[in-house]
Chains A and B, each alone.
Chain A
Amino acid sequence: MSRIEYSKKVMEHFTNPRNVGTVDDADGIGTVGNPVCGDMMEISLKVEDGRIEDIKFRTFGCASAIATTSMLTEIIKGKTIEEAENISWDDVVKSLDGLPPVKVHCSHLAIDGLRKALYEYYRKRQIYRPDLIPKDEESHHESSPECE
């Protein structure tokens, strides 16, 4: 059982996740992953005056997938868009006091979800930001051939 492999922080966010749900009138929603691969995340956010006023998540997946998205929303809330764009998966993993190696892909997926939501936010403003589209979502699942 992988319980011991998870940090206290991960377990705490898993059992008591922050910002669950979907933001009303979201400025951007990013959905990544798929149920076939065992994890799917949805990040929705609301921007006001260049700041992320509200951010919520919904996740289908393992404990680390849930904890990662919960932690991500906590980190991002209140940040400027520019700051949010610069948050990396590593920041999320560090905030969680680490993830087991086989679960690190969850943090990549969470960042992809955030960037997809930001991409949509820009697109609604006629700003095209292809750099925010995840290059290869499926590459996070290299260990599961059926997910490629």
Chain B
Amino acid sequence: MGVLIIDTIEKGVVHLRSVYLDSNSGMPMWPEVISSMLPYMSEHYGNTSSIHAMGNEPKKAMEMARSHVAELIGADPTEVIFTSGATEAVNLALRGSTETASEGKKGIIYSQADHRTVTATAEDLSRKGVRTAMMPLDHLGAIKLKEAVSIMDQGGFHLLSMPFASQEVGTFQPVEDLVKEAAEREVLVHLDLTRSAFQVPIDVKKQGIDLATISSNDLLGPKGVGALYIKKGVRLKPILTGGGHERALRSGSENIPGIYGMGKAASIVKKRMGDYVPQMERVRDALIDGLLRIENTHLNGNMKMRLPNNANVRFDFIEGESILLMLDLNGIQAASGSACSSKTLEPSPTLMAMGLKHEEAHGSIQMTLNPNTTIDDIQYVLEVVPGIVENLREMSPLYNRIGD
């Protein structure tokens, strides 16, 4: 291994192999999505708001995309509006609903299972005087139902936000139970479908969801597009003012190529999910099984109740950034819960909320798959990882200490 790495550094040699396991950070696009977008960057450049002929084609494309996205999540097309991505959708859901909530009931319940977009937005609203509360997580990463209910019972909250599954460890959340409890207390539910929409079917109508965020790139569509599902009757105040696009909820000339691409991606996901998800899950299981064969290695999160593309493990005695860099030098791209690889030097809030110790969070690695990940990719990873872990442990003063 040493020789290959030094070669790589000195000569910039390209790896024999590259395995991408950071799909939570960015997805490849379906090739047919890319080609489908092209006409909307060339001949169909008109604005949907124009009444002349050039506005027609983009308008048709946008409405077709809207039906595809709606169909994927079981919504009516009139309940879907396009945004610049999941971040904007989350902001609109949280801020927009706070604005319309009645005085004395402006409050948001969330958790560390959420993406940073939700926690950062809730924190900002809190600074502005909006009531906020965090639901605790159990050690597998699921929201604790009883505690969540007692928070709702305190009153003064208009919205509960939760991801379909934990962002980092992929643990499924008790969506059905929480929706039921929230509905009984007239608390709206915002469901973040960012990570789950391409791999777990959802029916927002049947499940009684009020607001739902979807990201285009997470459907293997283009970046810079997203959508918010707004159940009929749920009122939001727009966070952007302007020309009154998207039923005045999201002003700004629509990103037609992106929106069309997102719609196309949604239709492909809907059609093929049944084929690629079981395959992806088998590949992921092989990855987890292989990694757990390395001694003193543990799975973060729930073995069964987790997103099919998520593997999150921790290696005792070693630190995440070192592991990530070694993986990268061997052509494997992953992510870490370690403080040292983050800009803030803080370990992952999700892992900490699950009750992991600092040193356990520091040694955690997140590997996220996509439909293109193959069993060959995973075999290569499993050939490389044991050596990396062994090398770093040899260097670690914690390893021998425990081994003594």
Contact = CB atoms under 8 A, between A and B. Distances in A.
A86 interface: no
Contacts of A59: 395-397
B398 A37 contact: no
A3 B326 CA distance: 10
Contacts of A62: 319, 321-322, 338, 340-341
* Contact-size category for B: 20 to 34
12 contacts: A11-B325, A14-B325, A15-B6, A15-B329, A38-B319, A38-B347, A58-B396, A58-B400, A59-B395, A60-B395, A66-B322, A144-B346
B110 interface: no
Given A1-B324, A15-B5, A63-B322, A42 B397 contact: yes
Nearest to B357: A36
A107 interface: no
Interface string B372-404: 000000000000000000000011111010000
Nearest to A20: B395
Taking chain B's interface residues, is the majority helix, strand, or loop, or is none over half, making it mixed?
A: helix
Nearest to A141: B345
Contacts of A38: 319, 338-340, 345, 347, 358-359, 362
A65 B322 CA distance: 9
A3 B328 contact: yes
B317 interface: yes
Interface residues of A, number: 33
B344 interface: yes
Contact of B321 (A2, A41, A146): A2
Interface of A: 1-3, 8, 11-12, 14-17, 20, 31, 35-42, 58-63, 65-66, 102, 141, 143-144, 146
A66 to B, nearest CB: 6
Contacts of A36: 357-359
Contacts of B340: 38-39, 61-62, 65
A16 B2 contact: yes
Contacts of B259: none
B16 interface: no
Interface of B: 2, 5-6, 9, 317-319, 321-322, 324-326, 328-329, 338-341, 343-347, 357-359, 362, 394-398, 400
Contacts of A65: 319, 340
A98 B343 CA distance: 18
A146 to B, nearest CB: 7
Contact of B345 (A14, A42, A63, A102): A102
Contacts of B9: 8, 11-12, 15
B328 A1 contact: yes
Contacts of A66: 322, 395
Contacts of A15: 2, 5-6, 9, 326, 329
B321 A60 contact: no
Contacts of B321: 2, 62-63
A144 B345 contact: yes
A61 B346 CA distance: 14
A59 B5 CA distance: 20
A102 B329 CA distance: 22
A22 to B, nearest CB: 8
A61 B341 CA distance: 11
Contacts of A143: 344-345
The list of the 9 closest CB pairs from A to B, nearest first, reads A35-B359, A62-B340, A62-B321, A58-B397, A36-B358, A42-B397, A60-B396, A15-B5, A38-B362
Given A36-B359, A39-B319, A20 B345 contact: no
A31 B400 CA distance: 14
